[in-house]
Amino acid sequence: MNTFENKIDRLTDAILENEGNITDKTKIQIDRAEIELAASNMPWNLNLRQIYRSFQNDFHEYLINVRNVAEKKARWYLGSLNRMPDIYTIQDFISAKFTENGIKAFRNFIHFLEDIKGYSQINDITPEKWLKPAKVKQSRPKITFINVSDIVEVFHYCPDNLKTFYKLLTYTGGRGEHIKNMIDTFEPDRIITSYEFPDVSYYPTSELRKGTKNTYFVFFPTSFIDELKEYKMPYNHIETVYSKVRHNNVNTKNIRKWHANMLFKEGTQESVVDYLQGRTPQSVVAKHYANLNMQAERCYHSILPKFNIA
Protein backbone atom coordinates (compact mmCIF):
# COMPACT_ATOMS: atom_id res chain seq x y z
CA MET A 1 0.00 0.00 0.00
CA ASN A 2 1.51 3.36 -1.01
CA THR A 3 1.88 6.48 1.13
CA PHE A 4 -1.26 8.04 -0.29
CA GLU A 5 -3.36 5.03 0.65
CA ASN A 6 -1.87 5.00 4.15
CA LYS A 7 -2.93 8.61 4.53
CA ILE A 8 -6.41 7.85 3.22
CA ASP A 9 -6.75 4.98 5.71
CA ARG A 10 -5.54 7.10 8.62
CA LEU A 11 -7.74 10.09 7.84
CA THR A 12 -10.79 7.96 7.07
CA ASP A 13 -10.43 6.09 10.36
CA ALA A 14 -10.17 9.39 12.19
CA ILE A 15 -13.35 10.63 10.56
CA LEU A 16 -15.26 7.43 11.29
CA GLU A 17 -14.11 7.35 14.92
CA ASN A 18 -15.15 10.95 15.48
CA GLU A 19 -18.45 10.81 13.57
CA GLY A 20 -21.24 12.00 15.84
CA ASN A 21 -18.79 13.04 18.56
CA ILE A 22 -16.43 15.46 16.84
CA THR A 23 -14.04 17.17 19.22
CA ASP A 24 -12.17 19.12 16.58
CA LYS A 25 -14.71 19.81 13.87
CA THR A 26 -12.47 22.05 11.81
CA LYS A 27 -9.72 19.44 11.70
CA ILE A 28 -12.15 16.74 10.61
CA GLN A 29 -13.57 18.95 7.86
CA ILE A 30 -10.08 19.72 6.60
CA ASP A 31 -9.17 16.04 6.61
CA ARG A 32 -12.32 15.13 4.70
CA ALA A 33 -11.61 17.86 2.16
CA GLU A 34 -8.06 16.53 1.77
CA ILE A 35 -9.41 13.08 1.03
CA GLU A 36 -11.83 14.36 -1.59
CA LEU A 37 -9.17 16.55 -3.21
CA ALA A 38 -6.58 13.78 -3.21
CA ALA A 39 -9.02 11.18 -4.49
CA SER A 40 -10.00 13.35 -7.45
CA ASN A 41 -6.58 14.72 -8.42
CA MET A 42 -3.80 12.26 -7.57
CA PRO A 43 -2.20 10.81 -10.69
CA TRP A 44 -1.58 7.29 -9.40
CA ASN A 45 -4.09 4.51 -9.17
CA LEU A 46 -7.09 5.07 -6.95
CA ASN A 47 -8.66 2.31 -4.92
CA LEU A 48 -12.45 2.37 -5.24
CA ARG A 49 -12.76 0.73 -1.84
CA GLN A 50 -10.94 3.65 -0.23
CA ILE A 51 -12.93 6.22 -2.17
CA TYR A 52 -16.12 4.52 -1.00
CA ARG A 53 -14.98 4.62 2.63
CA SER A 54 -14.34 8.34 2.45
CA PHE A 55 -17.75 9.06 0.91
CA GLN A 56 -19.85 6.41 2.66
CA ASN A 57 -22.13 8.79 4.56
CA ASP A 58 -22.60 11.05 1.55
CA PHE A 59 -23.39 8.02 -0.60
CA HIS A 60 -25.99 6.87 1.94
CA GLU A 61 -27.72 10.26 1.73
CA TYR A 62 -27.54 10.11 -2.06
CA LEU A 63 -29.30 6.73 -2.12
CA ILE A 64 -32.11 7.96 0.12
CA ASN A 65 -32.60 11.51 -1.13
CA VAL A 66 -31.57 11.38 -4.79
CA ARG A 67 -32.10 7.80 -5.92
CA ASN A 68 -35.18 7.43 -3.69
CA VAL A 69 -34.00 4.05 -2.40
CA ALA A 70 -35.80 2.63 0.63
CA GLU A 71 -33.73 2.62 3.83
CA LYS A 72 -33.70 -1.16 4.02
CA LYS A 73 -32.36 -1.53 0.50
CA ALA A 74 -29.86 1.28 1.10
CA ARG A 75 -28.45 -0.69 4.04
CA TRP A 76 -28.11 -3.74 1.79
CA TYR A 77 -26.17 -1.67 -0.72
CA LEU A 78 -23.89 -0.21 1.94
CA GLY A 79 -23.27 -3.67 3.35
CA SER A 80 -22.30 -4.97 -0.08
CA LEU A 81 -19.82 -2.15 -0.66
CA ASN A 82 -18.40 -2.49 2.86
CA ARG A 83 -17.28 -5.97 1.77
CA MET A 84 -15.80 -4.69 -1.48
CA PRO A 85 -12.15 -5.73 -2.06
CA ASP A 86 -9.47 -3.44 -3.46
CA ILE A 87 -10.55 -2.36 -6.93
CA TYR A 88 -8.25 -0.41 -9.24
CA THR A 89 -9.31 -1.74 -12.63
CA ILE A 90 -12.33 -3.14 -14.42
CA GLN A 91 -10.70 -6.56 -14.23
CA ASP A 92 -10.55 -6.20 -10.44
CA PHE A 93 -14.29 -5.56 -10.44
CA ILE A 94 -15.00 -8.58 -12.63
CA SER A 95 -12.77 -10.80 -10.49
CA ALA A 96 -14.58 -9.69 -7.32
CA LYS A 97 -17.74 -11.50 -8.51
CA PHE A 98 -20.23 -9.13 -6.93
CA THR A 99 -23.66 -10.38 -5.93
CA GLU A 100 -26.75 -8.89 -7.56
CA ASN A 101 -27.13 -6.39 -4.71
CA GLY A 102 -23.43 -5.66 -4.92
CA ILE A 103 -23.66 -4.88 -8.63
CA LYS A 104 -26.62 -2.57 -8.06
CA ALA A 105 -24.75 -0.87 -5.22
CA PHE A 106 -21.63 -0.49 -7.37
CA ARG A 107 -23.62 1.02 -10.23
CA ASN A 108 -25.22 3.53 -7.88
CA PHE A 109 -21.82 4.40 -6.42
CA ILE A 110 -20.32 5.08 -9.85
CA HIS A 111 -23.30 7.31 -10.68
CA PHE A 112 -22.77 9.06 -7.33
CA LEU A 113 -19.10 9.73 -8.09
CA GLU A 114 -19.96 11.12 -11.51
CA ASP A 115 -23.13 13.09 -10.69
CA ILE A 116 -22.39 14.34 -7.18
CA LYS A 117 -18.60 14.34 -6.82
CA GLY A 118 -17.82 15.30 -10.40
CA TYR A 119 -15.58 12.38 -11.35
CA SER A 120 -15.18 12.25 -15.12
CA GLN A 121 -12.61 9.45 -14.85
CA ILE A 122 -11.38 6.99 -12.26
CA ASN A 123 -7.92 5.66 -13.09
CA ASP A 124 -8.31 6.92 -16.67
CA ILE A 125 -11.54 4.93 -16.99
CA THR A 126 -14.78 6.78 -17.63
CA PRO A 127 -17.88 6.02 -15.54
CA GLU A 128 -19.53 4.64 -18.67
CA LYS A 129 -16.78 2.03 -19.04
CA TRP A 130 -16.93 1.12 -15.34
CA LEU A 131 -20.67 0.52 -15.71
CA LYS A 132 -20.42 -1.63 -18.83
CA PRO A 133 -19.54 -4.92 -17.05
CA ALA A 134 -21.66 -4.01 -13.99
CA LYS A 135 -24.91 -5.41 -15.30
CA VAL A 136 -27.46 -7.47 -13.42
CA LYS A 137 -28.43 -10.63 -15.24
CA GLN A 138 -32.09 -10.61 -16.10
CA SER A 139 -33.69 -13.69 -14.62
CA ARG A 140 -36.95 -15.09 -15.86
CA PRO A 141 -39.71 -14.39 -13.35
CA LYS A 142 -41.14 -17.47 -11.70
CA ILE A 143 -44.83 -17.58 -12.49
CA THR A 144 -46.91 -19.31 -9.84
CA PHE A 145 -50.68 -19.37 -9.96
CA ILE A 146 -52.68 -19.82 -6.79
CA ASN A 147 -56.43 -20.03 -6.32
CA VAL A 148 -58.90 -19.42 -3.53
CA SER A 149 -58.46 -22.99 -2.27
CA ASP A 150 -54.75 -22.30 -1.73
CA ILE A 151 -55.61 -19.05 0.06
CA VAL A 152 -58.06 -20.83 2.39
CA GLU A 153 -55.61 -23.67 3.06
CA VAL A 154 -52.86 -21.27 4.12
CA PHE A 155 -55.29 -19.28 6.27
CA HIS A 156 -55.86 -22.42 8.36
CA TYR A 157 -52.11 -23.13 8.38
CA CYS A 158 -51.29 -19.57 9.43
CA PRO A 159 -50.55 -19.01 13.17
CA ASP A 160 -53.53 -17.59 15.07
CA ASN A 161 -51.66 -14.41 15.96
CA LEU A 162 -51.19 -13.63 12.24
CA LYS A 163 -54.63 -14.56 10.94
CA THR A 164 -55.87 -10.96 11.04
CA PHE A 165 -52.75 -9.82 9.18
CA TYR A 166 -53.31 -12.58 6.63
CA LYS A 167 -56.94 -11.57 6.14
CA LEU A 168 -55.90 -7.98 5.55
CA LEU A 169 -53.40 -9.15 2.92
CA THR A 170 -56.14 -10.98 1.04
CA TYR A 171 -58.68 -8.17 1.41
CA THR A 172 -56.32 -5.45 0.21
CA GLY A 173 -53.80 -7.07 -2.13
CA GLY A 174 -51.31 -4.77 -0.44
CA ARG A 175 -47.59 -5.23 0.00
CA GLY A 176 -46.75 -7.04 3.22
CA GLU A 177 -44.51 -4.30 4.57
CA HIS A 178 -47.13 -1.61 3.90
CA ILE A 179 -49.79 -3.68 5.65
CA LYS A 180 -47.59 -4.27 8.69
CA ASN A 181 -46.74 -0.57 8.92
CA MET A 182 -50.41 0.33 8.58
CA ILE A 183 -51.30 -1.94 11.51
CA ASP A 184 -48.42 -0.62 13.61
CA THR A 185 -49.55 3.00 13.13
CA PHE A 186 -53.29 2.35 12.85
CA GLU A 187 -55.67 5.16 13.83
CA PRO A 188 -59.32 4.00 13.68
CA ASP A 189 -60.61 7.56 13.25
CA ARG A 190 -59.01 7.68 9.81
CA ILE A 191 -61.13 4.85 8.40
CA ILE A 192 -63.39 5.97 5.56
CA THR A 193 -66.61 4.09 4.85
CA SER A 194 -68.18 4.48 1.44
CA TYR A 195 -71.44 6.43 1.43
CA GLU A 196 -72.70 4.69 -1.70
CA PHE A 197 -71.48 1.22 -0.65
CA PRO A 198 -71.55 1.01 3.17
CA ASP A 199 -70.05 -2.49 3.14
CA VAL A 200 -66.81 -1.01 1.72
CA SER A 201 -64.26 0.80 3.87
CA TYR A 202 -60.73 1.97 3.24
CA TYR A 203 -57.79 3.55 5.01
CA PRO A 204 -55.26 6.15 3.75
CA THR A 205 -51.71 4.82 3.50
CA SER A 206 -49.84 7.24 1.24
CA GLU A 207 -47.46 8.18 4.06
CA LEU A 208 -46.34 4.54 4.23
CA ARG A 209 -44.85 4.49 0.74
CA LYS A 210 -41.18 3.51 0.57
CA GLY A 211 -38.81 4.15 -2.27
CA THR A 212 -40.71 3.60 -5.51
CA LYS A 213 -43.37 1.40 -3.88
CA ASN A 214 -46.55 3.46 -3.79
CA THR A 215 -49.66 2.95 -1.71
CA TYR A 216 -52.71 5.20 -1.46
CA PHE A 217 -55.58 3.38 0.26
CA VAL A 218 -56.18 -0.16 1.42
CA PHE A 219 -59.73 -1.41 0.96
CA PHE A 220 -61.41 -3.94 3.25
CA PRO A 221 -64.93 -5.01 4.26
CA THR A 222 -66.62 -2.72 6.77
CA SER A 223 -67.44 -5.84 8.78
CA PHE A 224 -63.68 -6.28 9.37
CA ILE A 225 -63.23 -2.97 11.21
CA ASP A 226 -63.88 -4.22 14.74
CA GLU A 227 -61.35 -7.03 14.36
CA LEU A 228 -58.81 -4.64 12.88
CA LYS A 229 -59.21 -2.17 15.76
CA GLU A 230 -58.28 -4.84 18.29
CA TYR A 231 -55.31 -6.26 16.42
CA LYS A 232 -51.61 -5.73 17.15
CA MET A 233 -48.72 -7.16 15.16
CA PRO A 234 -46.99 -9.91 17.19
CA TYR A 235 -43.60 -9.45 15.51
CA ASN A 236 -41.40 -6.43 14.85
CA HIS A 237 -39.55 -7.75 11.81
CA ILE A 238 -41.39 -8.19 8.54
CA GLU A 239 -39.14 -11.08 7.50
CA THR A 240 -40.37 -13.03 10.53
CA VAL A 241 -43.94 -12.37 9.46
CA TYR A 242 -43.21 -13.45 5.89
CA SER A 243 -41.67 -16.72 7.03
CA LYS A 244 -44.69 -17.60 9.18
CA VAL A 245 -47.35 -16.96 6.54
CA ARG A 246 -45.39 -18.62 3.73
CA HIS A 247 -46.64 -22.10 2.89
CA ASN A 248 -46.30 -24.16 -0.28
CA ASN A 249 -46.70 -21.72 -3.19
CA VAL A 250 -48.49 -19.06 -1.16
CA ASN A 251 -46.57 -16.01 0.02
CA THR A 252 -47.29 -12.30 0.27
CA LYS A 253 -46.27 -11.63 -3.35
CA ASN A 254 -48.47 -14.39 -4.72
CA ILE A 255 -51.40 -13.25 -2.59
CA ARG A 256 -51.02 -9.85 -4.22
CA LYS A 257 -51.07 -11.47 -7.69
CA TRP A 258 -54.09 -13.58 -6.75
CA HIS A 259 -55.92 -10.46 -5.57
CA ALA A 260 -55.20 -8.67 -8.87
CA ASN A 261 -56.24 -11.68 -10.95
CA MET A 262 -59.50 -11.97 -9.04
CA LEU A 263 -60.27 -8.31 -9.76
CA PHE A 264 -59.49 -8.80 -13.44
CA LYS A 265 -61.76 -11.85 -13.63
CA GLU A 266 -64.61 -9.72 -12.32
CA GLY A 267 -64.07 -7.24 -15.14
CA THR A 268 -62.23 -4.57 -13.16
CA GLN A 269 -60.35 -2.11 -15.36
CA GLU A 270 -56.57 -2.26 -15.19
CA SER A 271 -56.37 1.38 -14.06
CA VAL A 272 -58.55 0.58 -11.04
CA VAL A 273 -56.56 -2.54 -10.16
CA ASP A 274 -53.36 -0.49 -10.34
CA TYR A 275 -54.92 2.16 -8.11
CA LEU A 276 -56.06 -0.41 -5.55
CA GLN A 277 -52.60 -1.99 -5.46
CA GLY A 278 -50.54 1.22 -5.50
CA ARG A 279 -49.06 0.97 -8.98
CA THR A 280 -50.59 4.19 -10.29
CA PRO A 281 -48.15 7.14 -10.52
CA GLN A 282 -48.86 9.84 -7.94
CA SER A 283 -49.37 12.46 -10.64
CA VAL A 284 -52.16 10.39 -12.20
CA VAL A 285 -53.81 9.76 -8.83
CA ALA A 286 -53.79 13.47 -8.04
CA LYS A 287 -55.43 14.28 -11.38
CA HIS A 288 -58.03 11.50 -11.45
CA TYR A 289 -58.48 10.74 -7.74
CA ALA A 290 -62.27 11.25 -7.56
CA ASN A 291 -62.97 9.07 -10.58
CA LEU A 292 -60.53 6.32 -9.57
CA ASN A 293 -61.82 6.19 -6.01
CA MET A 294 -65.46 6.02 -7.12
CA GLN A 295 -64.66 3.15 -9.49
CA ALA A 296 -62.62 1.40 -6.81
CA GLU A 297 -65.52 1.55 -4.34
CA ARG A 298 -67.93 0.11 -6.90
CA CYS A 299 -65.57 -2.66 -8.02
CA TYR A 300 -64.63 -3.60 -4.48
CA HIS A 301 -68.29 -3.82 -3.50
CA SER A 302 -68.96 -6.23 -6.36
CA ILE A 303 -66.10 -8.53 -5.41
CA LEU A 304 -66.57 -8.62 -1.63
CA PRO A 305 -68.27 -12.06 -1.58
CA LYS A 306 -65.09 -13.55 -3.06
CA PHE A 307 -63.13 -12.66 0.07
CA ASN A 308 -64.88 -15.09 2.40
CA ILE A 309 -61.79 -17.15 3.25
CA ALA A 310 -62.25 -17.79 6.98
Task: Answer whether residue 136 is part of any domain.
Answer: no
Q: Given a cut of 50, is residue 26 above it in pLDDT?
A: no
92, part of any domain:
yes
* 207 shares a domain with 261: yes
Domain residue limits at 90: 3-131
How long a stretch of residues is the chain?
310
Position 141 in a domain: no
> Does 125 lie in the same domain as 201?
no
Mark whether 74 and 181 lie in a shared domain: no
Residue 138 in any domain: the answer is: no
pLDDT tens for residues 263-273?
A: 898 888 888 88
What pLDDT sits at residue 2? 46
- Taking 50 as the threshold, does the pLDDT of residue 3 lie above it? no
Residue 206 lies in a domain: yes
Which range is least confidently modeled, 14-18, 39-43, 303-307?
Answer: 39-43
Task: Give me the number of domains the chain comprises.
Answer: 2
> Among residues 74, 97, 131, which one ends one of the domains?
131
How sure is the predictor about 44, in pLDDT bands with cuts at 50, 70 and 90? Answer: very low
How far is it, in rounded angstroms, from Cα 250 to Cα 147? 10
Number of helices and strands in the chain (H, E): 15, 3
Average pLDDT over residues 270-285: 76
Q: Assess whether 114 and 202 both reside in one domain.
A: no
Of the ranges 70-79, 142-151, 220-229, 240-249, which is most confident?
220-229
- At residue 29, the pLDDT reads 52
Question: What are the pLDDT digits (tens) for 73-108?
Answer: 889 999 999 999 999 999 999 999 898 889 999 999
Whether the pLDDT of residue 209 is over 90: the answer is no
Q: Are residues 20 and 46 in the same domain?
A: yes
CA distances, 100 to each of 2, 36, 71, 85, 103 (Å): 31, 28, 18, 16, 5
Domain end residue (candidates: 131, 164, 185): 131
Q: How far apart are the first and last CA of the chain?
A: 65
Residue-averaged pLDDT of the chain? 82
What pLDDT, on the 0 to 100 scale, is given for residue 185? 92
Q: How many whole angstroms separate alpha carbon 199 and alpha carbon 224?
A: 10
- Name which residue leads in pLDDT, 31 or 136: 136
Gap between the Cα atoms of 148 and 306, Å rounded: 9
Per-residue pLDDT at 25: 52
Choose the weakest-confidence range: 22-36, 62-76, 186-200.
22-36
Distance between CA 72 and CA 77 in Å, rounded?
A: 9
Alpha helix segments (H runs only) across 185-278: 225-230, 238-245, 252-265, 270-276
- pLDDT higher for 257 or 32? 257
pLDDT of 284 reads 66
Say how far apart CA 81 and CA 58 lie, in whole Å. Answer: 14
Q: How confident is the model at residue 1 (pLDDT cuts 50, 70, 90)?
A: very low
Q: What percent of the chain has pLDDT over 70?
A: 78
Pair (85, 59) in one structural domain: yes
pLDDT of residue 301: 92
For residues 106 and 155, state if they share a domain.
no
Does 89 reside within a domain?
yes
Domain annotation covers residue 68: yes
* Domain identity same for 153 and 298: yes
Any idea which of 153-157, 172-176, 305-309 has the lowest mean pLDDT? 305-309
- Residue percentage of the chain with pLDDT more than 90: 36
pLDDT value of residue 130: 92
Mean pLDDT for the stretch of residues 263-289: 78
Whether residues 152 and 301 fall in one domain: yes
Residue 268 lies in a domain: yes
Which DSSP state fits 213?
Answer: B
* CATH number of the domain enclosing 274: 1.10.443.10
Q: Do residues 79 and 155 both lie within one domain?
A: no
Which of 131, 160, 187 corresponds to the end of one domain? Answer: 131
Q: Are residues 166 and 290 in the same domain?
A: yes
If asked whether residues 37 and 156 sit together in one domain, one would say: no
